[in-house]
Structure 1
């Protein structure tokens, strides 16, 4: 893996992936809409594409070849099909940033709980997939297209919730700020359980999958999961303040993790492949202390 294309790469762990690749001496091209500034200067090549405009991808990639493409910005099966067709015979290996949301709500989901090789694909654009249910369907169908309809070496990385000091969404930070500000936080189900991964470990795993010969879906992340109630008790313990939890959600108080059910993953396969990740509880404790200040 010497020559790499990243669809995206200008936000969160995508930026970390670019820096990792550059540090390892790889030639990196990032393909974006060109609307988000990046810190890479002349160390990367840039393509301007629109994921909703197939011709822009065809035109920008004409006459070029890469060893690996990392797809960080696909939000519909139509986009997956367009990118795959535009990159046919230009790329050997396709690393798709997927999500644990491809699974039905529940805990300890193993990779076999969603089979992209048999999922029936309906091709629609990103605007036709609203909300969490839409996101779930879009990622499922995108995986399905890549595994069923292309000849790439495909890896679907089903990330859990990504957290880190560089998390621009501030989702975990919001919970700490609500407690410290004595503000109510809307959590409809304190028993709902979720899995997490640190942003720098997400980037490192993406990098490793580019080097690997593994294909198929895989669940990376911290071992185990945590309930919303347990997370709030952690925050209370570290801040020494009492959380004001309500099950009456409003746009102002709703937890970003107030999902319709549990979503957590089983990481046995990734451990069998030889990869390990930070301890979940130590990770959360360190970030809560960081956000507390």
Structure 2
């Protein structure tokens, strides 16, 4: 694996992935819109990855051992990648999401609950239609369905060996975590403000931001294909996460229960789809336990909050 292209890779765990590749001696090319400078020693191509003509133009005659696609959200983007990189790469890795399993956006045809924890075969994208996500679709459904259809485009009659990494909820890194989901808890519990939690909250799975970068690096150098789940061992419910935050803050959390179907805090779920990481483990990757690193991730979020307050601003 001497020559790797990363599509995206300009923030959060994408930057860690690029650095891991660079330190390993890999020649790295990043393709993005140029919103952030490339790290030293990394070649950058500026293009809209959804614009086929533009992407072909900046790539020129370049070929790669592996392409890692960090920002493929729609079947249209996947179709462009499929056409442009056919014959250019020996392997394609797409970063997907745990949300492909969400029964709220992808209910089972017979209404039955899927077995837990969720294994990769619960959602098989091969041969599934990929007509695009209708305009006006709510954000959560559009994201999950876009990823499902993108997987289908890449894995049905593939033009290159392809793997899709279904990533758990990524946490850690303090201010680098642009999602603000963990900060929701550290901010509110620190301030004594209530947290909305489903009365019967279900567990979910997480992964550390550096661990998912390591997993993608490992996947890029592997040879397996198809979907693979990436998550730390163990699960947490919203109240278990809140209790961990409360331990670090030193004040009790205050939960306001809401019923199934109601809007609640991030990671509060009224349906369960925690992932099983058995396939990746059998293939040779050693995952951490979520409780090993979550306290540090919370401390980083608290430190980011303190810095923001000291600087007189907000997140």
Q: Compute the TM-score of the two structures, normalised by the length of structure 1.
A: 0.91
CA change 1:190–1:231 in 2 (3 A) is farther
- CA distance in 2 between partners of 1:173 and 1:161 (Å): 14
Does the residue aligned with 2:124 lie in a helix, a strand or coil? Answer: coil
Q: 2:67 aligns with which of 41, 66, 69?
A: 69
Partner of 2:293: 283
Partner of 2:247: 237
- CA distance in 2 between partners of 1:223 and 1:11 (Å): 25
Superposition map of 1:137-176 within 5 A: 137-165=145-173, 166-176=176-186
Q: Is the 8 A contact 1:117 1:147 kept in 2?
A: yes
Q: 1:257 aligns with which of 252, 261, 267?
A: 267
Q: By how many angstroms is 1:119 displaced?
A: 1.8
Partner of 2:143: 135
Q: By how many angstroms is 1:214 displaced?
A: 1.1
CA change 1:56–1:247 in 2 (3 A) is farther
Q: Is the 8 A contact 2:90 2:160 kept in 1?
A: yes
Runs of 5+ in structure 1 lacking a partner?
A: none
- CA distance in 1 between partners of 2:201 and 2:283 (Å): 31
Q: By how many angstroms is 1:234 displaced?
A: 1.9
- CA distance in 2 between partners of 1:162 and 1:276 (Å): 17
Partner of 1:4: 4
- CA distance in 2 between partners of 1:129 and 1:135 (Å): 9
Q: Deviations over 1:223-267 (max 9, x none)?
A: 121111211122223322122322469xxx952334553331011
CA change 1:149–1:123 in 2 (3 A) is farther
- CA distance in 1 between partners of 2:56 and 2:38 (Å): 26
Q: 2:281 aligns with which of 243, 268, 271?
A: 271
Does the residue aligned with 2:90 lie in a helix, a strand or coil? Answer: strand
- CA distance in 2 between partners of 1:241 and 1:263 (Å): 30
What is the RMSD computed on CA atoms of the aligned residues?
2.1
Instruction: Write 1 or 2 for the structure with the bigger share of strand.
Output: 1
Q: 2:97 aligns with which of 96, 99, 105?
A: 99
Partner of 1:16: 16
Q: Deviations over 1:112-170 (max 9, x none)?
A: 10001132221358x66541111111111100110114321101000000111232223
Q: How many residues align?
A: 287
Moved over 4 A (4+): none
Partner of 1:40: 39
Runs of 5+ in structure 2 lacking a partner?
A: 104-113, 304-315
Q: By how many angstroms is 1:189 displaced?
A: 4.6
Q: Is the 8 A contact 2:172 2:298 kept in 1?
A: no
- CA distance in 2 between partners of 1:2 and 1:189 (Å): 51
- CA distance in 2 between partners of 1:149 and 1:59 (Å): 26
